[in-house]
Structure 1
Amino acid sequence: MEEEETELRNPFPSPPSHHTKYTTRNLQLLELLRDRAGGADISTVNQYELLSDQTDVPEWPMVQLEKPRVDWILEEGQYTVFGDTWFIKEQIPSLKELGGHQLYPEDPSEDRRPALRKILHSLLVTYSHLVDSLLAPPPIASTTVQPEWQRQLEWITVLAQNIMAAANDLRPVQARVNLELMMKRQLELRREETRAIHEKCDSLEAKLAEMSSAVRTLSNDTRTNKSDRNGPAHEVRSPLQL
């Protein structure tokens, strides 16, 4: 009981029971079996005869230790892990493959908008008929004919399944378009940020140039004022000239 509760509390599935067979000794025996088989399929040879001189030869077929055949996986397009089947290439099954009544084209390259408009129009008309059938008097109890409202409801279910399946088929396209829009928006934001940085740099350069010009003008004015205060320079004569 405790083991069952532990298994239920574990969010991940337990590994298969044969994982304990992958010991170092068993892998060595598998390699020896391959060498002695001489290139033959080890599933067709008698492992006990080829490994008669070895000890601890397992009772189960050692071919179970072989790695999965990748070529088989590629050929089948799927593989199984812990009892779950996974496809190599993820694809959304169509409504027809799921056993439903598909009303739109199977080819994704074909324009589905006309078919979807017809489905939507049929859905609205069927809903109107459903309301009318609900307002009709109840049928006789002994009749075996299917009620009108039930037929309309079944057809609405088929139409709704087609709309949902068509929307699911467009999810990869929607994801690609959303990614393109997001990347374009990021590019626009970076361009705007770069433009703002350039404008700020230009503004700073203009201010620096203005400040530099003001400093030069102030320096020239200071020199001029000093020259005016000192007056004109007088010529000094030597005593010999006197």
Structure 2
Amino acid sequence: MADGGQQRALTAAFPPPPPFWKHFTPENIQKLEEIKQEAAKKEDAKPKRKWSPAELRALDVPPELRFLVPPEIPNSGYYSVFGELQSLSTALPSLKDQGIEQLYPSPPATEAGDTSPSRPARPLNHAYYLLKISKSLLLNFLEFVGVLSIAPEQFESKLEDLRNLFINAHHLLNLYRPHQARESLIMMMEEQLDRTREEIRQMDQVKEKVESILERLRLEGLEADAATDSVKKETEKGTGPDEKTVEEARQIWNLLSADDD
């Protein structure tokens, strides 16, 4: 009885959290970190190094901390999510494998050993068949409403038709997932490339600005050196600009003083 209740809880639309969530407390997390640090000291390793699940399970961990150790990542088979088995394979299973009637043709496969480029496989026109399924959904929904108004007890067959149409449309859309993933990756890489180009452009602008400042400082330094050399040469000759100015000022002062007398 308990197993049945647990199974219903796992498959509910909004299942409760698993019972071991109570073990994820700050105290238990701190205890696990202390165990990791002690083990790292014994191994002369970094205290903050990353531990794999296998290494954590090999440690002497108390029972109340076992739930804090993550399990190994599965690499094949199936895994359970809320009571439902999910396949690790990324290949999309066909509707035939799931026991569902397929309402659109499968893309033609090339014959074994036929690698001639002159006979490529014709791609499936997804948009055309999605449009047909959408129109069939509208028509079958109108028929479903009519059945409910006339003979409600005969709704099951029409409801099954609607369900089959929705599954086919969903499966047809899922065939686009690899293409969508490639296009999303291309878009992300293009955005990253644009950001990198913009950063390089800004760096080039800063580089040009710094080079112009350095060139201006260099020219100012050359002008200052030239002026200093000129002053030194004139001073050595005894006709520096300072002495000449002083002499002219002295003569003007003498003239003014003579007029006062």
Output the TM-score relative to the length of structure 1. Answer: 0.49
**Structure that is richer in helix per residue:** 2
TM-score normalised per structure 2: 0.46
Greater relative CO (CA pairs within 8 A, separation 6+): 1
